[in-house]
A and B are shown apart, each in its own frame.
Chain A
């Protein structure tokens, strides 16, 4: 099964087509992976620009630069862009590039659909970002889209709903492709428990995506009919309940945050063994821990809603179920540290980002545990403490793992080594600035500063100024990252096939960059 035939071309050399149409009509998993990654980087910059506006306005108390309505549009669209346009496509890009190679397959299982999964996204985001130019501006009710607030938006509302539908179609098709590829395209001998953890974590992520993206689609469809077709799903006057939306949304939303982090676990589980020059500690426990996290993610959603007026039994159940997640997550952190224990460690840029991930993601995990305590959450809810928490898990967690994987695999993708010196600068600039950016937000939240507001009481001024300075520095560091990526694509020291001394896995048996069709013959799996 592992060779590739091409029944459309008569000649047997089928490298990439020429020109722009190569990228539009490609079915090659590497091309599509590249498209996804570039798209994600662009969206990361777009969402980042919005974050800069937010930090600029919050630099000082009072209203200086933008009006409150626009500020709310910034926070709302920043989140939507970063989640659906930044982190998710970045991971799908990594999956496209690496999964077929890691399992020794010829390509993704459904290559044409793979192309469509990607090419829906630019149109979906054009529609979402287009709402800025409409009457009433972009959606401003928060990315969680709670009714009745979200129903009061301008013309952009319906465009946002359909943009979300398009992103959902893209995600579900992408996830189906991942699952089919993993189940059906493995080289002979690549049993499930021999697969690299990145493949395993993506397998489970894809399952989560297929399970919850349609639920989000259902939720936003009901929003649409509530606004335009006089239904009353979320209006108590008609017998519905606005809290119902929160339940449905978070039934999607909580698995969604694991969709954003499970592939990160896989990446880190690849990078740490390479630079510790030791096999991963506890491979099978990693697989079981990932599966447990995925299962638990379905029964904890209401911890986002502790203050909404749930019955006491519900508060207790969701509190304890949420705390349970700390167990498999703890197993993972333990395993990463045990992998490094007594290893021959070196600290190239990917490893720095991986270690940064382990430390700072764990900080975010602990603040998550604090938020899981229902009585304490009444104090923290909707404060900057929550903002600090999820930015630690998403920026220094998910985004750091994406940075780590770019440095780890870019020599393989381009055939060029990145500049190690610049990579180290990028890491330290990012890590110092990101902590200046988000750490003070813990204190702001504990002191009672609410999230999603453009102005604040003067006692919060100093920490906010620090946070903004960190924010600008972090933003600039990522512009530097773009430059590093650009420079590496353009040229640089040639990378060897092995690239990293301690790296294991099928991707390192191929040339750097790999041939257009990875395995013309199924590799032998030991």
Chain B
């Protein structure tokens, strides 16, 4: 074994403990804030800033190591396998919320409406309730509301995300062919499309809250709608930030046609977020 193939084992990792402290301050502050405990939002903010500091520091260190050539094919393979399994964990995270949606639409709402096993429940508790979708339940939780239709903003957002999937691939082709301009232009387009998506999503939420009376409290329709789209929107935001970092790195001259794991991982993540959106569009907005 030549030492050129030696596996890189870093030493003296200070960022993890900083991350742990940040995580506890952030989550602890958040939990305290939910209970209206004093100065909890300050703790939460400090925790968030510590986490941001940790990410800058940790990723900065990794980028430096990468640029100085510490990572060879073996480290690269570790990162790739790790990223794939991380995305799998995210798939399962979304699966919990999609599963909740399917269960509610297929079982719980029809049962409350008296179908199958629920006939007695319906007769004694909610005899006036008829199963339908969307619904805010037999108690009309949150008051009357309107459904968020698929063919306005959501359809535009679908086009935006699909287009961004194309532009990020185009940027990748540029990177492989060592065409820096194509890389930077493609990435910039993707970042812009990503943030437009987030902005339109915010617009849609304000439309829902202000015009449709569709809120998180609008029964189970509002719950699933905001949980699924909100969780996805959060992921798009994170993905767009990741893409922005890749853009800055590309402009600084990072990445080579052979060695650009960070770019690819971000692209994978972006495609994953894209695919989840298609599921949302079909099952939350359309059907």
Question: A residues near B, CB below 8 A?
Answer: 1-9, 14, 17, 24-27, 105-107, 109-113, 115-116, 119-120, 122-124, 126-127, 135, 155, 158-159, 161-163, 165-166, 169, 172, 175-177, 179-180, 183-185, 210-215, 217-219, 221-222, 224-226, 228-233, 235-241, 243-244, 247-248, 251, 309, 311, 517, 521-522
Interface centre among B14, B95, B100, B125 (most CB of A within 10 A): B100
Identify which of A5, A183, A233 contacts B100 (C-beta below 8 A): A233
18 A-B pairs (CB sep. < 8 Å): A3-B3, A3-B7, A5-B3, A5-B7, A25-B16, A127-B28, A165-B27, A172-B89, A179-B85, A210-B85, A214-B96, A231-B216, A232-B136, A239-B112, A239-B138, A240-B223, A241-B107, A244-B108
Interchain CA distance A179-B31 in the complex, whole Å:
32
Q: Is B8 an interface residue (CB 8 A)?
A: yes
CB contacts (< 8 Å) of A126 on chain B: these are 24
- Extra 15 A-B pairs, beta carbons < 8 Å, given A7-B70, A159-B28, A185-B78: A5-B6, A8-B11, A8-B12, A184-B77, A210-B88, A214-B95, A217-B96, A229-B216, A233-B224, A238-B141, A239-B104, A244-B103, A244-B104, A247-B103, A251-B99
Query: Which single residue of chain B is at the shortest CB-CB distance from A4?
Result: B9
* Residue pair B219, A1 in contact (C-beta under 8 Å): no
CB contacts (< 8 Å) of A222 on chain B: these are 97, 100, 223, 227
Interchain CA distance A127-B32 in the complex, whole Å:
11
Interchain CA distance A177-B139 in the complex, whole Å:
47
CB contacts (< 8 Å) of B11 on chain A: these are 6, 8-9, 14, 17, 25, 27
Question: A176-B82, A214-B96, A239-B109 known; A1 and B89 CB under 8 Å?
Answer: no
* Residue pair B109, A25 in contact (C-beta under 8 Å): no
Query: Which single residue of chain A is at the shortest CB-CB distance from B73?
Result: A1
Query: Which single residue of chain B is at the shortest CB-CB distance from A521?
Result: B1
Query: Which single residue of chain B is at the shortest CB-CB distance from A177?
Result: B82
Question: Could you tell me the distance in whole angstroms from the C-beta of A354 to the nearest C-beta in chain B?
Answer: 31
* Residue pair A217, B93 in contact (C-beta under 8 Å): yes
Q: Is B152 an interface residue (CB 8 A)?
A: no
CB contacts (< 8 Å) of A107 on chain B: these are 7, 9
* Residue pair B216, A248 in contact (C-beta under 8 Å): no
Question: In the complex, how many residue pairs between chain A and chain B have their CB atoms under 8 Å apart?
Answer: 263
CB contacts (< 8 Å) of B142 on chain A: these are 230, 238
* Residue pair B82, A1 in contact (C-beta under 8 Å): no
Query: Which single residue of chain B is at the shortest CB-CB distance from A216?
Result: B96
* Residue pair B219, A239 in contact (C-beta under 8 Å): yes
Query: Which single residue of chain A is at the shortest CB-CB distance from B77?
Result: A184
Interchain CA distance A309-B117 in the complex, whole Å:
8
Q: Is B244 an interface residue (CB 8 A)?
A: no
CB contacts (< 8 Å) of B116 on chain A: these are 311
Q: Is B153 an interface residue (CB 8 A)?
A: no
Question: A6-B11, A217-B96, A244-B103 known; A120 and B85 CB under 8 Å?
Answer: no
Interchain CA distance A72-B12 in the complex, whole Å:
43
* Residue pair B137, A240 in contact (C-beta under 8 Å): yes
Query: Which single residue of chain A is at the shortest CB-CB distance from B15?
Result: A112
* Residue pair A241, B108 in contact (C-beta under 8 Å): yes
CB contacts (< 8 Å) of B38 on chain A: these are none
Question: A228-B34, A232-B137, A239-B221 known; A166 and B27 CB under 8 Å?
Answer: yes
CB contacts (< 8 Å) of A111 on chain B: these are 9-10, 13
* Residue pair B220, A1 in contact (C-beta under 8 Å): no
* Residue pair B86, A238 in contact (C-beta under 8 Å): no
* Residue pair B81, A180 in contact (C-beta under 8 Å): yes
Question: A4-B6, A25-B17, A180-B78 known; A239 and B99 CB under 8 Å?
Answer: no
* Residue pair B96, A25 in contact (C-beta under 8 Å): no
Query: Which single residue of chain A is at the shortest CB-CB distance from B25?
Result: A123
Question: Could you tell me the distance in whole angstroms from the C-beta of A32 to the nearest C-beta in chain B?
Answer: 10
Q: Is B20 an interface residue (CB 8 A)?
A: yes
* Residue pair B217, A25 in contact (C-beta under 8 Å): no
* Residue pair B16, A119 in contact (C-beta under 8 Å): yes
Interchain CA distance A198-B280 in the complex, whole Å:
40
* Residue pair B108, A5 in contact (C-beta under 8 Å): no
* Residue pair A2, B24 in contact (C-beta under 8 Å): no
Query: Which single residue of chain B is at the shortest CB-CB distance from A241?
Result: B108
Q: Is B90 an interface residue (CB 8 A)?
A: yes
Q: Is B21 an interface residue (CB 8 A)?
A: yes
* Residue pair A237, B100 in contact (C-beta under 8 Å): no
Query: Which single residue of chain A is at the shortest CB-CB distance from B72?
Result: A1
Query: Which single residue of chain B is at the shortest CB-CB distance from A237?
Result: B139
* Residue pair A231, B217 in contact (C-beta under 8 Å): yes
Question: A231-B217, A247-B103 known; A1 and B28 CB under 8 Å?
Answer: no
Q: Is B128 an interface residue (CB 8 A)?
A: no
* Residue pair A214, B6 in contact (C-beta under 8 Å): no
* Residue pair A110, B28 in contact (C-beta under 8 Å): no
CB contacts (< 8 Å) of B20 on chain A: these are 116, 119-120, 122-123
* Residue pair B93, A215 in contact (C-beta under 8 Å): yes
Query: Which single residue of chain A is at the shortest CB-CB distance from B134?
Result: A239
Interchain CA distance A159-B92 in the complex, whole Å:
23
CB contacts (< 8 Å) of A165 on chain B: these are 27
Question: A25-B12, A166-B23 known; A231 and B227 CB under 8 Å?
Answer: yes
Interchain CA distance A214-B87 in the complex, whole Å:
11
* Residue pair A109, B82 in contact (C-beta under 8 Å): yes
* Residue pair A3, B70 in contact (C-beta under 8 Å): no
Interchain CA distance A226-B220 in the complex, whole Å:
10
CB contacts (< 8 Å) of B135 on chain A: these are 239
Identify which of B31, B32, B96, B217 contacts A230 (C-beta below 8 A): B217
Q: Is B35 an interface residue (CB 8 A)?
A: yes
CB contacts (< 8 Å) of A25 on chain B: these are 11-14, 16-17
CB contacts (< 8 Å) of B21 on chain A: these are 123
Question: Could you tell me the distance in whole angstroms from the C-beta of B232 to the nearest C-beta in chain A?
Answer: 13
Question: A4-B7, A127-B28, A155-B35 known; A215 and B216 CB under 8 Å?
Answer: no
Identify which of A113, A124, A213, A225 contacts B89 (C-beta below 8 A): A213
Q: Is B48 an interface residue (CB 8 A)?
A: no
Question: Could you tell me the distance in whole angstroms from the C-beta of A67 to the nearest C-beta in chain B?
Answer: 23
Q: Is B37 an interface residue (CB 8 A)?
A: yes
Interchain CA distance A444-B177 in the complex, whole Å:
73
Interchain CA distance A230-B226 in the complex, whole Å:
12
* Residue pair B220, A240 in contact (C-beta under 8 Å): yes
Question: Could you tell me the distance in whole angstroms from the C-beta of A207 to the nearest C-beta in chain B?
Answer: 9
* Residue pair B10, A27 in contact (C-beta under 8 Å): yes
Interchain CA distance A337-B278 in the complex, whole Å:
52
Question: Could you tell me the distance in whole angstroms from the C-beta of A137 to the nearest C-beta in chain B?
Answer: 13
Q: Is B146 an interface residue (CB 8 A)?
A: no
1/0 per residue, CB under 8 A from A, across B210-224: the answer is 000001110111111
Question: Could you tell me the distance in whole angstroms from the C-beta of B66 to the nearest C-beta in chain A?
Answer: 12
CB contacts (< 8 Å) of A112 on chain B: these are 10, 13, 15-16, 58
CB contacts (< 8 Å) of A14 on chain B: these are 11
Query: Which single residue of chain A is at the shortest CB-CB distance from B86?
Result: A176
Interchain CA distance A106-B5 in the complex, whole Å:
12
Question: Could you tell me the distance in whole angstroms from the C-beta of A17 to the nearest C-beta in chain B?
Answer: 7
CB contacts (< 8 Å) of A235 on chain B: these are 137, 141
Q: Is B178 an interface residue (CB 8 A)?
A: no
Interchain CA distance A211-B71 in the complex, whole Å:
29
CB contacts (< 8 Å) of B269 on chain A: these are none
Which residues of chain B (21-47) have a CB below 8 Å from chain A? Answer: 21, 23-24, 27-28, 30-32, 34-35, 37
